[in-house]
């Protein structure tokens, strides 16, 4: 059975993170820890809002790995399709038409996430 794009991404990300951790120096480890804590901890912004912000920033920067990660995390955080659609509109407005191919891929992953949840 072939892995879904999401499964493949998660498997590769885990493997690459293990290799990265093997060689990371103190500064890199500090940065990675800060990144994880920023998105996990509820402060003035909740996780759902933070993931939407991460998604829009990644979309504007056109980082497919980051977009994919944040789409998955948005789904886990309870973001609705309508909320994601508004976030896409902001990313498209800020980033311009060059974001459209990235949006297509992001929405395909979103659709797959919804389908996998409905199948459970």
- Per-residue pLDDT tens digits for 24-40: 999 999 999 998 899 88
Whole-number average pLDDT of the chain? 93
For residue 15 the two structure tokens come to 């493997």
Q: How far apart are CA 92 and CA 84, in angstroms?
A: 12
pTM: 0.89
Q: Identify the CATH number of the domain defined by range 5-119.
A: 1.20.1290.10
DSSP label at 24? -
Q: What are the residue boundaries of the structural domains of the chain, listed by start?
A: 5-119
**pLDDT tens digits, the chain, 120 residues: what are they?**
677 888 999 999 999 999 999 999 999 999 999 988 998 878 899 999 999 999 999 999 999 999 999 999 999 999 999 999 999 999 999 999 999 999 999 999 999 888 887 777
Q: How far apart are CA 27 and CA 30, in angstroms?
A: 5
Q: What are the helix and strand counts (H, E) for the chain?
A: 6, 0
């Amino acid at each position: 059975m072939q892995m879904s794009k999401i499964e493949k991404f998660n498997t590769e990300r885990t493997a690459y993170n293990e290799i990265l951790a093997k060689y990371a120096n103190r500064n890199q480890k500090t940065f990675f820890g800060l990144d994880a804590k920023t998105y996990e901890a509820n402060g003035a912004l909740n996780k759902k809002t933070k993931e939407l912000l991460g998604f829009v920033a990644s979309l504007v920067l056109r980082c497919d790995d980051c977009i994919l990660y944040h789409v998955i995390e948005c789904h886990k955080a309870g973001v609705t399709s309508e909320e994601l659609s508004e976030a896409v509109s902001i990313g498209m407005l800020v980033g311009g038409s060059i974001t459209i191919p990235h949006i297509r891929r992001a929405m395909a992953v979103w659709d797959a996430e919804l389908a996998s949840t409905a199948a459970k």
